[in-house]
Amino acid sequence: MSFEQDLERLEQIAAALDRADLSLDESLALFEEGIQRLRTASEALAKAEGRVTTLVEQADGALEERDAGD
């Protein structure tokens, strides 16, 4: 799934968990799915951030922002 799909599913899970009509087993299953989706979304975000820019410290301590491919 894509990052956006993970976020959408997390919103659905949060809404479902807010309702009081779920059994304990259903709530736990949704919570477990939510944790997994949060992990995959976090990993995807970290990878995307790494690809977008890399901060390189210069000799004088200043930071220069470069594309990750440079």
Q: What is the pLDDT of residues 3-48, one digit of tens each?
A: 999 999 999 999 999 998 999 999 999 999 999 999 999 999 988 8
Q: At 33, phi and psi to the nearest 5?
A: -60, -40
pTM value surpassing 0.75:
no
Q: Say which residues have a Cβ less than 8 Å from residue 17's Cβ, sequence separation at least 6.
A: 27, 30, 31, 34
CB 45 within 8 A of CB 3: yes
- The residue ranking higher by pLDDT, 13 or 1, is 13
Residue 54 has pLDDT above 70, yes or no: no
Q: For the packed helices 24-52 and 3-18, what is the interaxial angle rounded to 10 degrees?
A: 150
